[in-house]
Amino acid sequence: MNEKYHPHEPVTGGDRHLYKKLLLQSVIIISVLLIIYFWGFSFLSNINLFWQALNPRRDYPANAVKNNQILPTPPFLIQLPPAVKDPKIEIRGYADPALTIKLIVNDLEMEKTATDEEGTFAFSNIPLSEGKNSIYTVAIDATGLESLPSRKAVVEFDKIPPKLEISQPGNKENFEQKEEEITVAGRVEPEIKVTINGQQIIIDQDGSFKTLYALRDGENNLVIKATDTAGNETVINRKVFFSRIF
């Protein structure tokens, strides 16, 4: 015997719970997509950093003990850039209030400072060595007990501009053609961002690039810029001329 379908059958409590759960999941997904659309992934990253700052102890033992004495909680360093072009850097972080924070750079003690009533601390104008720099901090309480070290941060001090080669077009080259697009090609080092008049282009894994660029009638100035992770820039200008052939 075939089962009949009842279009007006009442919704059970289990169904209501399922509908609410699905609705809540949909709202969360839509909210995350809207945040990414309007503020980008960096906004989510900042939320994560804020949560880490509020919970600095999660990666360390809650009661680190040495010689039967409870050690201070290790400091938390706010995320540092992986590379910089300036020889000095600012370092900030969080720890418990009323502690002394010792800064270690490349295994050398640099400075000491105290946390404020909210537990924040900062070091300004800390000199870096060329190349990679290992940075961490240690908290010291009023009795002289030192915490375990904070997480190490590695920051590369790089002041050398990236290499940039342009094979096409030549400087002051004339283009008399029907199509307004020309080829811009060249090569850079790996992990380098390249823009043409502010427009970023795609780089192949071997560092080569080749793209089309639309010209206007007459003189065109192409500003081709290569930027590395530290912010160093190399700029090559190309002046070309375009005449459309009908």
pLDDT tens digit string along 144-171? 999 999 999 999 999 999 999 999 999 9
Side-chain half-sphere exposure of 133, counting CA atoms within 13 A = 27
- Orientation of helix 41-54 relative to helix 13-39, angle to 10°: 110
Tokens linked to 186: 């060249």
Cβ atoms of 237 and 211 within 8 Å: the answer is no
> Which pairing describes strands 181-188 and 208-214: parallel, antiparallel, or unpaired?
antiparallel
* Better pLDDT: 148 or 32: 148
Residues 6+ apart with CB under 8 A from 19: 11
Preceding omega of 169 cis (within 30 degrees of 0): yes
Statement: residue 12 has pLDDT above 70: no
Q: How confident is the model at residue 29 (pLDDT cuts 50, 70, 90)?
A: confident
Phi-psi region of 67 (alpha: psi -120 to 50; beta: other; left: phi over 0): left
Q: How confident is the model at residue 39 (pLDDT cuts 50, 70, 90)?
A: low
* Better pLDDT: 99 or 54: 99
Beta-strand (E) ranges in the chain? 65-66, 69-70, 76-77, 83-84, 88-94, 100-105, 108-114, 120-127, 131-140, 153-157, 164-168, 173-177, 181-188, 193-196, 199-200, 208-214, 218-227, 233-244
Q: How confident is the model at residue 42 (pLDDT cuts 50, 70, 90)?
A: very low
Q: What is the pTM of this model?
A: 0.67
Within 10 angstroms of residue 98's Cβ, the number of other Cβ atoms is 12
Residue 159: phi, psi to the nearest 5?
-110, 10
Tokens linked to 51: 């949560």
Residue 123's nearest CA partner among 111, 134, 109 is 111
Amino acid at 166: I
Cβ atoms of 181 and 213 within 8 Å: the answer is yes
User: How confident is the model at residue 67, as a pLDDT?
Assistant: 58
3-state secondary structure of 52: helix
Q: How confident is the model at residue 66 (pLDDT cuts 50, 70, 90)?
A: low
Residues 6+ apart with CB under 8 A from 179: none
User: How confident is the model at residue 57, as a pLDDT?
Assistant: 43
Within 10 angstroms of residue 93's Cβ, the number of other Cβ atoms is 25
Q: How confident is the model at residue 25 (pLDDT cuts 50, 70, 90)?
A: confident
CA max distance for the chain: 89
State mean pLDDT over 70-94: 94
State mean pLDDT over 76-86: 96
Statement: residue 30 has pLDDT above 50: yes
Q: How confident is the model at residue 41 (pLDDT cuts 50, 70, 90)?
A: very low
